[in-house]
Structure 1
């Protein structure tokens, strides 16, 4: 239960930044629009394969930078000392990443389901 609470906390921290939220939504949106525009060519399949990879790399980079900033500020040390296990903090970060990735893929699929 602690992991879920920390995951929600991390997700809120990531989504609180407007520019970051815009970038997180822009990647699947751009990939879906490109796929719709080039639906008859090979670029369509390439875009569909690269979108999840790009989203995972973006989320991984964001969470890694957030982790480094939390270590420097002492938040991670406080959480580890309070919770007792570093594993809970790491699992919460993974859950946060999976949640954001699922939301991005939902946006991607919804845009693909809309016919222009």
Structure 2
């Protein structure tokens, strides 16, 4: 249960930044819109297939930067000392990444399901 609470905390921290939220949602949105507009093009199909990988790399980069900032500020040490296990903190980051990835893929699939 602690992992879930920390995951919600990390997700809120990431989504609190409006620019970061816009970038996280813009990547699948732009890929899906380009796929819809240029549906007969092979390049748009390749872009649509590569979109999940791009989203995973983006989320991984964002979570890594957040992790580094938390280590420098001492938040990670405080959480590990309070909770007792570093594994709980790492699992919460993974759950945060999975949650954001699911939201991105939901946006991607919803845009692809719309017929212009």
TM-score, scaled relative to structure 2: 0.98
Q: Deviations over 1:84-111 (max 9, x none)?
A: 0000000000000000000000000000
Between the aligned partners of 2:64 and 2:44, the Cα distance in structure 1 is 30
Between the aligned partners of 1:41 and 1:106, the Cα distance in structure 2 is 23
Instruction: Please state how far the C-alpha of 1:44 moved relative to its aligned partner.
Output: 2.5
- Which of structure 1's runs of 4+ aligned residues deviate more than 4 A? none
Instruction: Please state how far the C-alpha of 1:45 moved relative to its aligned partner.
Output: 1.6
* Number of the residue aligned with 1:24: 24
Between the aligned partners of 1:14 and 1:28, the Cα distance in structure 2 is 17
Quote the RMSD (CA, aligned, Å): 0.5
Instruction: Please state how far the C-alpha of 1:38 moved relative to its aligned partner.
Output: 1.3
* Number of the residue aligned with 2:38: 38
Between the aligned partners of 2:37 and 2:106, the Cα distance in structure 1 is 19
TM-score, scaled relative to structure 1: 0.98
* Number of the residue aligned with 1:106: 106
* Number of the residue aligned with 1:72: 72
Q: Deviations over 1:23-65 (max 9, x none)?
A: 0010000000110111012012201111101100000000000
Between the aligned partners of 1:55 and 1:32, the Cα distance in structure 2 is 13
The more displaced of 97-106 and 42-51 is 42-51
> Which 5+ residue runs of structure 2 have no aligned equivalent?
none
